Amino acid sequence: MVDVPAEVRNRLRAHFTAAGVLGEPAEASVTFLGADRISVLRYGPDGGGVNHFVSVGCSRYPMVDPTNFVTDTEHGPRAEVVVSLRPPSPAGLARSMAVLAAAPSVEGLVLEPDALIDLSGPLFEGAPFTAFLLGPSTIDDVALPDPLSDVTILQATPITPTEAAWVRLKGAEAMREAWRTDGVDVFDANRRASEPS
């Protein structure tokens, strides 16, 4: 049987070593009642001064529709999430990331690009952000042997309630375009909310 979290860790080590981020990552673990442990690893800062927080544990099982009566432990998409922010490391972020990463097993959510996951509360201490917008990351998929699906590492960008409303109205790509147009640094934990027109 394949140790999927170990394969994810190997991919992360290779990715961040190639990016010049050396040494072992800092690690925090969170366990929710009835769910397996979720670890959050912090790599960085990288050459651009950004820390990368990556979940490990979400991909342990494939994400499946909760209405299915048969549990399939092999087929179905698998994912982990990465949040990239400039230092300092925000207090409480690891727990919010663990909630996000546990959502497939606890709530039956499927994490995929352009998904909006609203946690309905601050993602970390003092944060105006209450939701994550998922999208592609720069980390390659983690290849697993057949019949298992590869693990996709999704970028999870913290967003404000106003931005979440914009995503619901206009879509994820419109939000990203507004950030580019407004020059918003989504790696800044203290950034202002984008107010697209």
194 in a structural domain: no
User: Which secondary-structure segment (H or E) carries 54?
Assistant: strand 51-56
Bridge partners of residue 118, in order along the sequence: 131
For the chain, report the end-to-end CA distance as a whole number of angstroms.
51
196 in a structural domain: no
pLDDT computed for residue 54 by the predictor: 98
DSSP 5-52: HHHHHHHHHHHHHHTT--SPPEEEEE--TTS--EEEEEE---TTS-EE
Which residue bears the tokens 């967003």? 159
- pLDDT per residue of the chain (197 residues) written in tens, 0 to 9: 899 999 999 999 999 999 999 999 999 999 887 788 999 999 999 999 999 999 999 999 999 866 665 566 677 899 999 999 999 999 999 999 999 999 998 888 999 999 999 999 999 999 999 999 999 999 999 999 988 999 999 999 999 999 999 999 999 999 999 999 999 999 999 987 776 66
Question: Which two structure tokens, joined as six digits, stand for 94?
Answer: 């690891």
Q: Which domain holds residue 18?
A: 4-64+72-182
Closest CA to 107 of 147, 75, 67: 67
Task: Quote the distance between the C-alpha of residue 7 and its chain's center.
Answer: 17
**Could you give the number of structural domains in the chain?**
1
- Helices 172-182 & 161-170, crossing angle to 10 degrees? 120
Which residue bears the tokens 């800092």? 26
pLDDT in tens, 45-77: 999 999 999 999 999 999 986 666 556 667 789
CA distance 86 to 10: 24
190 in a structural domain: no
Q: Which residues contact 43 (CB under 8 A, 6 or more apart)?
A: 12, 16, 21, 25, 51, 52, 53, 54
CA distance 141 to 62: 14
189 in a structural domain: no
Query: Strand 78-85 relative to strand 151-159: parallel, antiparallel, unpaired?
Result: parallel
Helix then strand then coil, in percent of the chain rounded to 5, is: 25, 20, 50
CA distance 185 to 111: 24
123 in a structural domain: yes
